[in-house]
Each structure stands twice: as structure tokens, then as C-alpha cells.
Structure 1
């Protein structure tokens, strides 16, 4: 089979027609049609002049997929009282202007907008645009559904949204629609994992606009604003190597050269008979800017971004002046001026840098945190809008469940007993949520509400898919109920029914044990598993804090708790019956227990304060001192002697390095049962916590509830929890990068420049996407989060995580409103509830515990409910796999591609050398993977599924270390045996049929 495909006892020349069609859909050309001769991409670049300074003008627009206005408002140009912006008019105008001059170029980024515009065009206009793309006059860069945030996004959701955008471009335009460069000109700091993903997606280079002001100054003086980013410690170079360029003006034009209708700069007035002729002045100023810029870059090529936010709505203004600028500056060459100006694109600029054949500075860390001035650290958005961040993470889990069950259930999942449905609405909602003003929390409140509404609508669509699929797999057409507020103990069915079933679907490719906690009004229940065996369960009273936060949305007085065990990529069923006679609910006790303990952990409390005092791993017999409490930083209002910068949605700036403690003691009550043990702590009317230890858990759960944050004192508050331990950290701690590889951090330190620290708290905060840890030679304390949050290690042996923010001032970064969240349910301020999971291990084996635990929190089981008795023929348990995958292997993606094919991604989830047991190569047989799917054929793709893996070629760059790129073919692509090495993700397009 061709293109690195996987054989299924088929001769190379006898591919089934269905598989040939499948392959043609990825290549972008219809089956049997000869690929046209194309002049796009690098072939379309204008000639440059080797003995001159070549200035690459890049016309572009930066179109936020929601920020001050919603996605719809931006597209249509609605609510111009908020911001004048209409994307549909931008694309209309640009196409019109490109047709008037074949030298002109334009790049477009956000596929979410372009897709919508494309669907509204006539066939003749679509053909015209295809010709512009084929000639390289209109070029797509980045190409994801949106330009994602890099701090608060999870890698799985980023891959999904990139795949969706790139697939549309691939299927619509073929090879000319494939972007050559990644383009993240606006995100507020840059993650190493993003660079690694972009490299594995086949990009030749990456350009961005924002980096720390101190880092930029050093790089300008060293002429290192273009570099080679080695974005993985595990993947063999150059697999995760990515050439990276830092743009000179963010993403704006040089000062004085903005010619959009939103700009105030004067146009080029080139009639010499008129009094206000200004060509000579324009040329002089432009040459001065170009020559100054050339001094801080390495080659005789420089780039200028000619555009900005939502510009080119009247593209004639821009292009008419750019035409003149190019003509008049280049006319100076006759007088010996060595500057050549040309229309260009980022890929054309990148090609010239590659042709220079130089060595480039090597970078192995990331670009966090980002500051644009001494007191202006953009580290607040790591936590901003914590409820939206959690909802986005839950929605990602729901989408993966929806995708998997759409495959496992077959066609009936899309058209079954519960109606017609598909997963596309949810995919688009999740893709939009990855935008750098969405999950980041840096949008206006009405836009945040719109993102949440889209996610809710997407899940409603997916619920039909899930119900149809589970009905087919179980043989039961009983109505399925979804309870999406279990975190506040609300579920009308379980509160009122005397007999019901709980169906637990596990989206992970390994079995999981998951605590089920259901609101009930009975005092005693019987729970039985799929085999009819009785399951240990316990009824406990609903806490006063839960009753307060749910308000009038539920009325259960108790909660039924038991541990569910679900098979890999499958479901299991538990039957629940109310007992008329049985033991009463577990009682609560006011006293603080000396300790709570299971077979793995022992947790002690200070009897005087009610706070945690130690944590013991009973397997390793290691104990650490551990105290935990809640504090708040007084948010700067901008009125102090050092700076007028306030805290806001983007920026974290406390007024003091010492936070206020909320309470030195906690009022407590405890619940101790054979199933679980809880210590319920109350610190203030707006801060409470449950310290929870389940019987079979290796992690301690801290369920925190914070809000509404009081503002009657006119002080903005940024609430943290801090864990103080006896671990000797020497100012080091560790955070994940987008949920994957772990990076070492050190207080008041940057690996690539000497830091002048001006904000000792905010300047030491980093994004924590799924986990962080502190360690010494013998102990490691890992904290797994349930959403993206900001945190740091300000004191030795300490780890603090910001949970909630409520601010009274805007931070003057464009959003123009304070981060002060309220709603109809919470008019007095937002209440947020979340979980931290703590594990204590020896450092060499800690990854074996925290990586699976983090994946389990990201991809949590989906619970559905049916009322009454199930039909006797109902299938109560199912696994979509023939066997669980090895511990090192994560099934990252299983989604329907078209009627006959699915997209599969398998991931090695351990870093090189991280685990003695799990950091080696692992082999999986694709034919022996699924229990209900027969794999008939397939081929390996790049990470974003828009190129065949064996056809993906990238520019090779030489680092200043002098080493040569190591090219290595991993595994035999002609076999069904797929080998994964540490941190490797392999993507396959498989033709399948139901068994």
C-alpha cells in the first residue's frame, strides 16, 4: 500500500476502491483527477535581491474569534458600538482588491470565520478564490479553527481544533490550502508544547508577536529574534524542532504606516502639483525604520506586518498606499539605495531565511511568564474566569466521549431511537473555546456567556449521539437522563426515584475506578454492579456549603456514594434501589479527627486549628509535613508610587508580596465511613473545603468552594490556596506544558536571560494546565488540577495555586471592563467549586502515578441515568477494546472521519527517562485493538491529519551548537504493529467496519 499505509494481507497494487477514495480525500484531489500544476506556497514568492535589504510587507488582518464581541457579532459587523469590526466585509474587500493587481498578497488565519464566509459565496466566487489560492496570492497561515491560547489550553483540544480547521482547508483547496507556517501573533506568552505540536503538524516555521520586554531587549542586542526552538526533551531532533521568529512590531505596522479606515496616519499623497505632496517624507521615514529594524535581525531580509485587528474592511485603502510605497521606495534603487520592498507572506520570508543557511540560537525552555513592562505581568489570565475554564475542560471530556461513541455505535449513533444528531456542533464550540480570548478568560462578560452557551448547545447535540450509541450497544431504548450539576448535588431523577440505573462510560483505554456521588433523599440504598453483586455504598448528609451553593436548584438532603469500576473505552451499569429498612445515613461529627487513612495514605490534622498537618504514603512509609490554607492578594488598583498598572483579566499585580490569610483556623465536621472519609472545613462565609479520602484512592482530594468574593471594602481579591511542606525544593518547582511534558521552574530566574525581578509574586507565576509538583531527592508532592490555573512556588517547600479572582478595575489591555463576574444565580458574585488531587511518591516513580491520574481528571467518566428497571436482555457492560492498552499508551483520539473511516491517535504519555517502568518503547497492534471494529486498511498521517506522514517534509535548520539534524524513521509503516516512543503521538486514518 502507498503512502506508508498499513497492509491487511492485500497486494500493493490492489487497493479497494473505498480505501482509494479515503486516500484521495486526504490528498485534497478527487480520485482519478490529475493534480494541477500549482504556483502557490514557496513557488509563488516574489523574487528578492541578494545584495539589498529586502523588506517583506505582509498584508494581514487579526480577527479574534470572539473578544469584545461574540463570534457572530464579529462576523456580521454587529454591535459596532462596542467595536467596529465585520469579518465578512474584510474577506469581500480583500478578494476584490487581490484581483486588481497580481503582485498583491494577503494572508488569512482564522478558519472559523473563513469557513462561514466560504459557505455563503456563489460557485463562481468560490472558483475565483480557489484561483487566488492556487496562485499564492491568498495564502492561509496557521489554519486552525482559531488562534488558540497557549497557557490555558489542553493539548488534546488544541490538536482537535487545528485538525478541524486544516481539514477544511485541505478538502477545499488541496495542497495550496495547507499552511506552511504557524502564526500566533497575539497569545500572551508561548508554550513549548505548542511548538512541539506545530513541528509535528509539519509547519516549517512559527511566528509570534509577544514576548517578555526584557527577553526582547536582550534578543535585539544579540540579534537572536529568530531562533531554533527545540520543543521536546524526549522526541528525537528534529521531530520537535521549530524555527521561530519574533515579529518586530507585535502584529502592527511600523509607526506612521497604518492605512486602514481605523487608522489616523496620512495617506501617501503623490501628486507633485499639490501642496501636501509627501512622498519624499514617506520614503525617508520608511527607509529609516527599515534600516533600524535590520540592525536587530540577522539576515538581509526583514518582515513588516501591514495590518492589525479587524483591518482591511476597506482593503482599497491599504493596497492603494502599499502599491505606492513599494513603487516609490524601490525607485530609490536607481540612486544607490540598497532597499528592496515587496509584497510577501510569512512563508516567503521564511524561505529566504532558510536559504541564508545560517546557524540559529537554540532554545529549550518556553516563553512564560510574559510581561510588557516592569510591573505588568500577564499571569492573571492563567486563572481568570475559573468557572469557564472548568466548563471548557468538562466539555472536552464530553466531546471525546461523544466522538468515541459515534464510532463504536456505528451509523445508528447519528440516526437512532433518540433522533438524528452529530458531533459537529460540539466540535465547533470546543474549537472556538480554544481561542486566546476564550478559555483564557480575557473576553467581555457577554462574550464569555456566549462561549458557555455554545458549549451547552454542543453537549445537547452530543447527548443524542451518546444516547443513540449506548442504546445500540446495550440493546436498551430506555430514555437516558443527564445530570450536569452533580458537583453541587443536583439531579432530579436520583433525588426522586426509588429505583434507577447508573451507566458509567469510561473514555480512557484502561479501566478506571471512579467515585460516584449522587443526590438522594432516602436514607439507605442497595447498589449492585453489572454482575448483580452488591457494591459497598454509603449515604452521607449533604453539607451546608453544598446546600448554600446550589441554592434553590436542588433539594436532596443526602448523597449516595460508591466506587464505580468501568472497563476501558466502555461502560458498566449499576442498579440502585431504595431500601425501606436499612442503616441510617452516616453522621457528622464536630470534632477534628486525628487522622483519616486508607491502605495507601494517612492524613493528619492539627486538633487546635483543624488544618492539615502531615501526609504519609503508607506504601513507601514516607511522611512530609503538610499544611494548607487559603489566602487572598489585595489586587492593585493602579494607585501607587511604582506603577499605575492595576490587576485585571490579563494582568496579576498584587499590592503586597504577603497575602492576607482568610482564617488561621477552620471550623470542621467529619464523616468517617468504610467507603470514604471526609473532613469538612469552613474558613469564612465565602471559603470552604472538603478534605476527602476514598477507600481505594492513592490521591487525597481537596474539594474547594470559593465565592462570592466580598468587595464591600472596595478591594479586588485574588484567592489562592497554599501548600507548605517539609520538602526541600531549593526554589525549584515543576509545571506541565499544556498537559504534556513537564518543565522545571525556578524562582526569580529565566534560563535565557538575567532577570530583573520587579514583581516577586506575579513574576513567579506560571500556567498549570493539569499538574504541578515540588520535590527533593526523596519526596515528591504532586497536585493535579481540574482546570487550568496559575501558580508558583514563592517560598521553599511551598506551592500556591490561584483559585478565583474578582477585580474592580480594568487592566487597560483592551477588554475595557473589570473582571467582576456575577449572574442571575449569583448576583452577589460568582461561586466556584473545584478539586485538587494530591499524591505523595518517591521522585523516580511519581510519574507512574500522576500522569494517569491527570488523564483521568481530563477525561472523566460520563454518567447517564435510566429510571426504573432495565429490560432483562439489556447488556450491562461493554468495552470497545479487546484489551486495555499498556499503561504508557493513551488513546488520544477516536473520531469518525467519514462513513467508512475513523481517525485514531495513540500517544506515549511518558517522557524519556521519567519512569523506570513506563518510559520505554511500547508496541500496539492496530488489528487487535477494537472489539467491535474490524480494521480493513489505513495510512499514517501527521499530527494534524492533513498530510501523509511519509510525504511530510520540512525545512531543516542548524542550531548554533553545530550538531546536524538527526533524521530517523520510527517503526515500520507497512506493519500493523505500531511502536510508540516516549512523548510520541502517531495518527492513523483507518478504514473500518462493524464486526
Structure 2
């Protein structure tokens, strides 16, 4: 798939945008590979890197190169009048609308109506929707006429100009659909040109997605200074975009349209979907807005999540007779199953939203150790009790425990289980053992920490830990020892919200047993290792980590939850280091918006790690001929490979400086405490790719990543065998989203998956299930009416 793109230069605040194109044969445009490719016009390894922070806007000194035109060619200069206001940056969405946007759009309608030869463009559909809701009918009719006669063009049509580096492709699709639906329903048109002049750089995902949505031409503004200079010299400001999968069409994103009356109150979801799209804005998801604006985004997301929980509960209640109230149990928010004399047992329904089978680990809080977990038909389910540690005080909660058990679920299946409190603890529920140097007052057996190392073992691997940190692992199938060290360090950072500008080499956060103060909790199902992350160089660093190993895992993998608290560390950036003996050379693979993996090569001549950090939304991977290590995460981050066999990840940062990009001193000086999720997955390889520039996850790793990003739904229930219909699901087809279009139609977004089969035990993907799922339903693109 090829898309037109042009680059431009901002010359007048937020009002006027000018781009320059030489008149040429429209049938012979300049064709380029993607900017990140090692082939074609741009070679990453030969590009200069300039990361000096001087607070000034970059200006171009490159003169126009007339060698690309003949003396008879006409230089066409297009002046495109537009106005751009961020849906949140220095002010909140509402503040910008009240102070600027409403007047801008009112004046635009008045001026264009009076001057029929004038034209104007607008891109922020989120603001346009707000204006539409408040405008009178006369103003609405005038705007509709201006759009339909071409005086006012709605460019891009997305809800916001989303960031293109760290957004997930599924959220970007929703951002497009939300905006295009509004435009089409109210103006009976769909955008054909995208105007993306404010996001920080451009990737391969948005041209592809916009192309699938009917956009033929794209204007992009912010590319690397050095890339732009090369494009100017070569007369290549107008070019065709080619994605890595263009030739083979490995990714197919379609919309399955079905007529239905099943969602009677589906319009209640609309404002919450729009909230999710709003925070894909490039100044929201990147945290490059002022603190009070970020708080506004957080409040919007929190309120949306609360309303979604209530709507989900209402849907479940409607499916169960004689049940008026259903509570959604989100363990992450601290919900608990509380037993007492009146409520000694409860039914829980667990729903798997993924399109593959899982053996799901369920973790809940309970207030009694005498808890039994049973299947729908009454068979006891093996469960493990763990102490609920209060990390700040390093003690066990006296009121609550955690219970862990497993439930096998098919794709899109719901199952009911029974939990009850008995007089005594049943044999199927086992207590954990605690290993610690601390004196912990709890009902669990406490043992002293052994000297030296501590080993965790399951059917696939043995993990060796020391002072609460992973040191190495042993593959039990091959008997091969795999060095794997996870540690932390920090940079003194003179940058700001936009710029990473380390002042010197990183300094290690050296941990000993006293500083780490590890606690190990072991049982038949899972083992956890708790430890502090402290440094004598950063005395106010208050973070900790929890490794978790599943005893019945079929993969060479383990999980890490990192609780980051860097409120008072000053101008510093905390990073996590992963050290192996994988011979990956100078390359690391990072995911591109969750779609595929792209090779990133280290600039050996760069004097700063800033030049070698790459954005990654969900995953990073290094590999050699025999091994692959994938690090999956539940939040976007930056990735760097400083040396062979090593990966470094951004964790957290606080900065008081002004990097000259728009925010002021102190705007990035506070970072909220956060819980970061990771999963480390080790795989053996037996096939070497001839050209490894673009890769995909193995089937197992893709499912692990999906499970990390999409959790099961748990809610209280009643004993009823009524459940969602299930059927065999194609192993290479993923359901991305389900959303309504209007009162009679809804759309399901599917993705055809590609798996890497070069790893051992990759898992075959063979299915006889029809791709269209039902013979009378056609796969088609999002409709225009």
C-alpha cells in the first residue's frame, strides 16, 4: 500500500502553515522506503545525530536546490490557512475551548460565509464535536454547507492528532473511527487528506490505518531535522509511503458489520470511548502537558473507568434472572471478596475477552484463610494463600489475604466458580511459606532467608535469585544455563518533559542484602520475590519490585511488577538494565504500535544514549541464532541496547529544567507513583531469518503480550448455566474491538495475525474455521452511510 505524503514548515504561530512543492508529473512521484528502513533514501546508521539542548527552535539553512527542476518549471507555493489548538497542553481541553476554540470556529464560519472565495481547514474533531453540541441550528447549517461546498475542509478527521510512537494501533483505530463517524453523520463526507503537523515524528502505522479509512494524501510536519534537510536537498518533500508489509499484505484490518438490537443503551459508551481517544493526543499519552492538564486527563480516564464498570455490571445483571445488582471485581483497585456470617459464599463469573484459550491465573483478596474454591459442578480447585504485604512498612496486612487459583477458559468464554468460607481451611487451599530476615507477624510460616542464592523452579526452568534480584536461569529441557541479570541505574538529566539529556554516564543503583531487604513467598502455584530498590546516591528513592514465577507455566517466562516512586529524586532518570549473553550485535527489536517488530540499530559513533533510545509501545526483543529474549510490558517506554546482550528501559524521571520545547521550569518535576508491568519470555531458536529487519512474535509470545494488556473480567453472579455462546476461533485471527455505529449496526474490528515460526515450540496455527466466521456475513471497510 502506498500513500501520498508531503512535509511542511510552520512559519506563523498556530495559524498559517506553508509547504513548498515543485510542479512535477503527477504520475512520477518520488518513491521512498520508510524512514526507519536501512534501504532507500535514508540510512539510519549514516544519519547525523544532534541532541544539543539550547532551548531554540531549529531553523533550516539549506537553500532550495534548483537541480531538481528545469528553468521552465514553476515553483508553486501553497498557503494553507488553518488553526491548530491542542486538546490539552498548556491548558486543559475545556480551558482551550472556552478561551480560544469556540471563537475561532465561530469566526471561521462567519468569515467563510461572507467570503465565498476563502478556504480553511480544521483537524481537531474533538473540539469540533464540542462546538457542534453548543452551536445553534443556524450555525450548524452554515458549517454543513461550508464543508459540503469545499470551503471548509475537515482534514484527517481523527478525534485527536494522536502520538505515533507509543500509541497502540487498536487505540489509533478507535481514534480514527470516532472522528470519521462524527464527520460522516453530521456532514455526510469523509476526509481524504490528513493534516498531521504537530505530533512528534511519524511512523508507518498511521499512514497504513488512514489509508484503510479512505485517506489518500497526508501532510506531516515534524520529522528529524537531518531527514528534512536530506529531503530538501533531493527534492523529495513529496513522496509515496510504503509499509513493511505492503507487498505481502500480512495485516488485514476489516470491519464486520452486523445488524442488531442487542445494545439498547450503547450510546452510554460514547463519551467514554471519546475519553480514551482524547488521551491518545500527542501531549497526553506522552505526558508533555502541564501538571494540571495531566491531572485533568487522569480524572477523565478514572471517571470513564468507573462508568464502564457500572455499565458492564448492568450488562451482566441483565443476563441473569432475579439479579438486580452486580459488582465488578477489579483486584487491581483493591476490591475484595468479604465473607461474614450473612455471606459465607458467592458465585463469581470469570470472562475471557481474548480470542484464544487460556489457563488464567486469578488473584483475589479475601478476609479469611478458610476459603474454598470450587468449579461450577462442585469439584475443589487447588488454591494458594499468600500474605498481602504492606510494602512501605514491610509487614503483612492483618485484615486481608490473597488467594490464587487457575481457571481454564476457551476463547470468549465465561465460567462460574464458587467461593465460600468454611469452619476450617480445606486441603485444596494451601498456605504459602515466607522467607525473610524481618520479623513479620502473620498466620503464615516464616523461615529465615538462606545465605547466598535462592532458587525458584517449575517444569520449564530454574531461576536463581540473590538479594531479591534475578541472576540467571536454567533451561531444564536443554540443561543450558542462561545468564540473565536485572538491575537498575540512573542518569543525572538536564533535559525536560520532551528531551532526555544525560549529563554524564549512568550510575548504578548498587544493592546489597540490607538495602534490598528481600522477602520470598513460596507455594505450590506461584512464588514471589519482593525487594526494595534503594540507592545511597538517591536516598529519597522509594521504589520496590515483585518478581512472580508460575509453577505450572509451560513457558520459559516470569513476571515483574515494578512499583516506582520517584517523587523526590531531583533531576534524574531511572532505568532498568537487562543483561544476557545473547549475541545480538548492535540491534534490538521494538514493536511498532503493537503491530510488528522492527529492528533498531545502535549508532556506534553517538556520544550520548539519547541518540539510541527508541520508542516501544508493548515489547522489545533481542536474539541470536539460538536464543530469543522478549520483554513485554503493560505501558509504553523507551528502549536502548548499550552493549551486546543488553537492553535498557526507561522506568521513571523527574526534571525541573526547561528544554525549550514549550513547557516551563518545573512542569516535569513531579511524577505520580506508578505500577509498571513486565513479562520476560525466553525462547529457543532453530531457524535464522535471512533478512531480520521486520519480525513478528511467536504465537506463545503474542498471547502472553495480549494477556498482559487485556485482563479477564470478574464479577459476582448466581448459579446459572446461562453463558455466552462460544465456538472454535481461528488461531490467526484476533478480534480487536466491538463498537456500535448507530442504533441498528455495530462493527467488529479483526486483525489477521502473522507468527514467527523460528522458535522451538512456537505452536502450530492450523484451523479449518472459515475466515468470515459466518457464510452470510461479509468483511468490509467501515461504511460511509
Query: Under a length normalisation based on structure 1, what TM-score does the superposition of the two structures give?
Result: 0.63
1:695 to 530, 546, 551: 551
Return the offset for 1:843. 3.8
1:835 to 677, 680, 683: 677
* Cα displacement string for residues 84-126 of structure 1 (whole angstroms, at most 9, x for unaligned residues): xx10111111111112322211111011111221233333332
Structure ranking higher in helix proportion: 1
Partner residue in 1 for 2:431: 585
Contact 1:567 1:879 in 2 (8 A): no
Structure number with larger C-alpha Rg: 1
1:761 to 609, 613, 616: 609
> CA–CA distance in 2 between the matches of 1:619 and 1:560?
31
Unaligned runs of 5+ in 1: 1-47, 78-85, 241-402, 637-646, 750-755, 823-828, 930-934, 949-995
1:782 to 627, 630, 636: 630
> CA–CA distance in 1 between the matches of 2:78 and 2:367?
70
Partner residue in 2 for 1:169: 183
2:40 counterpart of 1:198? no
> CA–CA distance in 2 between the matches of 1:55 and 1:223?
14
Return the offset for 1:910. 1.6
> CA–CA distance in 1 between the matches of 2:110 and 2:652?
48
1:506 to 352, 367, 387: 352
**Partner of 1:631: helix, strand, or coil?**
strand
Return the offset for 1:196. 2.1
1:164–1:735 distance in 2 versus 1, CA, 3 Å = same
Partner residue in 2 for 1:683: 533
* Cα displacement string for residues 624-662 of structure 1 (whole angstroms, at most 9, x for unaligned residues): 2001112121112xxxxxxxxxx2211111111323325
Please identify runs of 4+ aligned residues in structure 1 that moved more than 4 A: 48-51, 237-240, 410-415, 495-498, 546-550, 619-622, 819-822, 911-924, 926-929
> CA–CA distance in 2 between the matches of 1:547 and 1:75?
45
Return the offset for 1:726. 0.9
2:294 counterpart of 1:448? yes
1:614 to 455, 463, 472: 472
1:118–1:508 distance in 2 versus 1, CA, 3 Å = same
> CA–CA distance in 1 between the matches of 2:635 and 2:284?
14
**Partner of 2:435: helix, strand, or coil?**
coil
1:435–1:670 distance in 2 versus 1, CA, 3 Å = same
**Partner of 2:385: helix, strand, or coil?**
strand
Return the offset for 1:747. 0.8
Tell me how large the CA RMSD over aligned residues is.
3.2
1:481 to 327, 340, 359: 327
1:739 to 594, 610, 613: 594
> CA–CA distance in 1 between the matches of 2:550 and 2:161?
40
1:648–1:531 distance in 2 versus 1, CA, 3 Å = farther
Where does 1:180-191 land on structure 2 (aligned, <5 Å)?
Answer: 180-191=192-203
* Cα displacement string for residues 861-896 of structure 1 (whole angstroms, at most 9, x for unaligned residues): 122235xxx3x4x236x344322x222211112222
> CA–CA distance in 2 between the matches of 1:184 and 1:664?
50
2:606 counterpart of 1:748? no
How many residues matched?
Answer: 674
Structure ranking higher in strand proportion: 2
1:544–1:889 distance in 2 versus 1, CA, 3 Å = same
Where does 1:406-805 land on structure 2 (aligned, <5 Å)?
Answer: 414=264, 422-475=268-321, 477-484=323-330, 486-487=331-332, 490-494=334-338, 498-545=344-391, 556-582=399-425, 585-590=431-436, 591=449, 594-606=454-466, 609-619=467-477, 621-636=479-494, 647-663=495-511, 666-684=516-534, 686-697=542-553, 698=555, 699-711=557-569, 715-748=570-603, 757-758=606-607, 760-805=608-653
> CA–CA distance in 2 between the matches of 1:588 and 1:178?
61
Contact 2:571 2:656 in 1 (8 A): yes
Partner residue in 2 for 1:74: 96
> CA–CA distance in 1 between the matches of 2:293 and 2:241?
34
**Partner of 1:63: helix, strand, or coil?**
coil
1:101–1:143 distance in 2 versus 1, CA, 3 Å = same
Partner residue in 1 for 2:17: none
Contact 1:630 1:663 in 2 (8 A): no
Return the offset for 1:616. 3.4
* Cα displacement string for residues 143-171 of structure 1 (whole angstroms, at most 9, x for unaligned residues): 01111011221100110111010011112
Contact 2:497 2:668 in 1 (8 A): no
**Partner of 1:477: helix, strand, or coil?**
coil
1:89–1:619 distance in 2 versus 1, CA, 3 Å = farther
1:421–1:136 distance in 2 versus 1, CA, 3 Å = closer
**Partner of 1:146: helix, strand, or coil?**
coil
> CA–CA distance in 2 between the matches of 1:547 and 1:483?
26
Return the offset for 1:839. 0.7
1:132–1:535 distance in 2 versus 1, CA, 3 Å = same
Unaligned runs of 5+ in 2: 1-25, 27-70, 437-448, 535-540, 688-696
2:737 counterpart of 1:893? yes
> CA–CA distance in 1 between the matches of 2:302 and 2:400?
28
Contact 2:250 2:754 in 1 (8 A): no
> CA–CA distance in 1 between the matches of 2:107 and 2:177?
28
1:844–1:196 distance in 2 versus 1, CA, 3 Å = farther
Return the offset for 1:65. 1.1
Return the offset for 1:546. 6.9
> CA–CA distance in 2 between the matches of 1:835 and 1:461?
25
2:257 counterpart of 1:232? no
Return the offset for 1:610. 4.3
1:560–1:922 distance in 2 versus 1, CA, 3 Å = closer
Return the offset for 1:744. 0.1
2:770 counterpart of 1:925? yes
Contact 2:685 2:758 in 1 (8 A): no
> CA–CA distance in 2 between the matches of 1:421 and 1:223?
49
Return the offset for 1:411. 5.5
Contact 1:423 1:462 in 2 (8 A): yes
1:72–1:779 distance in 2 versus 1, CA, 3 Å = same
Return the offset for 1:234. 5.9
**Partner of 1:589: helix, strand, or coil?**
strand
1:928–1:134 distance in 2 versus 1, CA, 3 Å = closer
> CA–CA distance in 2 between the matches of 1:813 and 1:923?
54
2:113 counterpart of 1:91? no
> CA–CA distance in 2 between the matches of 1:140 and 1:168?
11
* Cα displacement string for residues 314-365 of structure 1 (whole angstroms, at most 9, x for unaligned residues): xxxxxxxxxxxxxxxxxxxxxxxxxxxxxxxxxxxxxxxxxxxxxxxxxxxx
Q: Mean alpha-carbon deviation: is it higher for 58-67 or for 210-219? A: 210-219
Partner residue in 1 for 2:701: 850
Query: Under a length normalisation based on structure 2, what TM-score does the superposition of the two structures give?
Result: 0.79
* Cα displacement string for residues 940-971 of structure 1 (whole angstroms, at most 9, x for unaligned residues): 433xx2459xxxxxxxxxxxxxxxxxxxxxxx
Return the offset for 1:547. 6.5
